[in-house]
């Protein structure tokens, strides 16, 4: 066969998917060690193998987005592709959560039929999931450890080196932060976004304060409490109105995203209806979805472990449910993007953009037709 034609040679479904390897990879420990294998062990193995396959796809998608965004210049036409691939990660996460329902068709007593054969294996030893965490940008100092061990201590030296490189390299968090910092619209000619934003926040808070003070449904003590909760531009809005306050909150570990990136994310969220900001907004929303769904998956995993094991320790030596629940609470990566909601103001309060800036944020042809 000519070499040029070899790439078009036919291939069989079975060999293309290497099904002999995949379908031969379920080796039941209970079958090796007991006369009667535990029926439910097959489900346990397959569910976790499917998890690993999906983790591989997630790392494939995340790395492609990192590659698009690293460097000083991002081709804006690639943002749509990045949004599509992040949305794919979101759909995969939904499947990861749904798989827990399949696992829960196995009862706690069923699990005990083969659990003793799993020691000291544990989901903590999933190298691919640790890769997912590192690539997304989960900081090492914010990880919850167990048994006073480094999170990568169960892996081979080359895997530990890979995780170290990923953690200190171009993570999704870092490349998106750099991209946000390059947003060019925060100061345009005489238009200073933050100055107009401060005025809009003052108007919004004044209106809400008046509504609280004038209501007849609250007594004076309740009104005072509501007013304190409402805050002012001297409270949480300071994190975006004052760079020094933001830096202090970063130093305390309460914020992670840089000041300029935070302001850019706020601008994108507020002016998301401008045509050119549609996809940047969808990108930020996709990151929030990914973070939220991994939190949901961790929480559902913790609840499944509680259902299966109660308060028993995990096969890997962790505290089981308590450890998993703690990671669901703490292991957030894009929490600063979630917190942008705290800083939003109603559309009715949005400062009007200068005509030339609005034109740059829109479609020039549409703008010309409107003028005509």
CATH code (residue 218) = 1.20.58.480
Q: How far is CA 284 from CA 59, 79, 225, 250, 272, in A?
A: 19, 11, 34, 20, 11
pLDDT at 164: 93
Q: Is residue 47 in a domain?
A: yes
Distance CA 26, CA 49 (A): 9
What range defines the domain where residue 298 resides? 30-371
pLDDT tens digits along 306-359: 888 886 665 555 556 787 888 888 899 999 999 999 999 999 889 888 888 888
Q: Is residue 225 in a domain?
A: yes
What 3-state DSSP class applies to 291? Answer: helix
pLDDT at 147: 66
Q: Is residue 23 in a domain?
A: no
Q: Is residue 124 in a domain?
A: yes
Distance CA 144, CA 326 (A): 8
Which has the minimum average pLDDT: 6-10, 174-178, 244-248? Answer: 6-10
pLDDT at 358: 81
pLDDT at 121: 80
The enclosing H or E element of 188 equals: strand 187-188
- Going 65 to 67 to 73 to 76, the CA torsion angle's sign is negative
For the chain, how many structural domains are there in total?
1
pLDDT at 74: 85
Q: Is residue 22 in a domain?
A: no
pLDDT score of 303 more than 70: yes
Q: Is residue 250 in a domain?
A: yes
Q: Is residue 352 in a domain?
A: yes
Torsion of CA 58, 60, 65, 67, to 10 degrees: 150
pLDDT score of 131 more than 50: yes
pLDDT tens digits along 244-265: 999 999 999 999 999 999 999 9
CB neighbour list of residue 264: distance below 8 Å, 6 or more residues apart: 180, 181, 183, 186
pLDDT at 369: 41
**How many CB atoms are closer than 10 A to CB 222?**
12
Q: Is residue 3 in a domain?
A: no
What 3-state DSSP class applies to 22? Answer: helix
């Amino acid at each position: 066969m000519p070499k040029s034609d070899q790439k078009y040679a036919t291939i069989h479904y079975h060999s293309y998917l290497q099904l002999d390897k995949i379908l031969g990879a379920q080796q039941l420990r209970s079958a090796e060690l007991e006369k009667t294998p535990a029926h439910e062990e097959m489900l346990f193995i397959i569910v976790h193998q499917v998890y690993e396959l999906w983790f591989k796809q997630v790392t494939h998608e995340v790395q492609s987005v990192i590659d698009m965004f690293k460097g000083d210049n991002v081709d804006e036409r690639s943002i749509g592709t990045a949004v599509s691939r992040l949305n794919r990660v979101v759909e995969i996460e939904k499947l990861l959560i749904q798989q827990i329902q399949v696992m829960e068709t196995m009862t706690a007593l069923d699990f005990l039929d083969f659990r003793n054969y799993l020691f000291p294996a544990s989901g903590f030893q999933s190298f691919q999931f640790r890769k997912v965490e590192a690539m997304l940008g989960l900081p090492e100092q914010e990880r919850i450890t167990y048994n006073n061990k480094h999170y990568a201590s169960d892996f081979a030296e080359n895997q530990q080196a890979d995780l170290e490189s990923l953690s200190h390299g171009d993570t999704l968090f870092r490349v998106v932060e750099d991209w946000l910092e390059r947003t060019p619209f925060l100061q345009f000619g005489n238009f200073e976004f933050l100055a107009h934003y401060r005025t809009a926040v003052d108007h919004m808070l004044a209106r809400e304060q008046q509504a609280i003070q004038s209501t007849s449904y609250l007594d004076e003590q309740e009104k005072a409490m509501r007013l304190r909760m409402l805050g002012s531009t001297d409270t949480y809005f300071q994190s975006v109105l004052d760079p020094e306050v933001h830096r202090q909150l970063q130093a305390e570990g309460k914020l992670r995203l840089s000041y300029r990136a935070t302001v850019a994310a706020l601008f994108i969220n507020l002016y998301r209806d401008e045509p050119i900001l549609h996809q940047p907004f969808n990108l930020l929303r996709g990151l929030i979805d990914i973070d939220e769904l991994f939190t949901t998956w961790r929480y559902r995993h913790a609840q499944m472990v509680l259902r299966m094991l109660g308060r028993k320790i995990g096969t890997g030596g962790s505290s089981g449910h308590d450890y998993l629940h703690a990671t669901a609470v703490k292991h957030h990566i894009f929490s600063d993007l979630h917190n942008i909601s705290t800083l939003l103001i109603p559309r009715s309060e949005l400062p009007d953009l200068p005509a030339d800036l609005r034109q740059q944020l829109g479609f020039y042809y549409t703008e010309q037709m409107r003028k005509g």
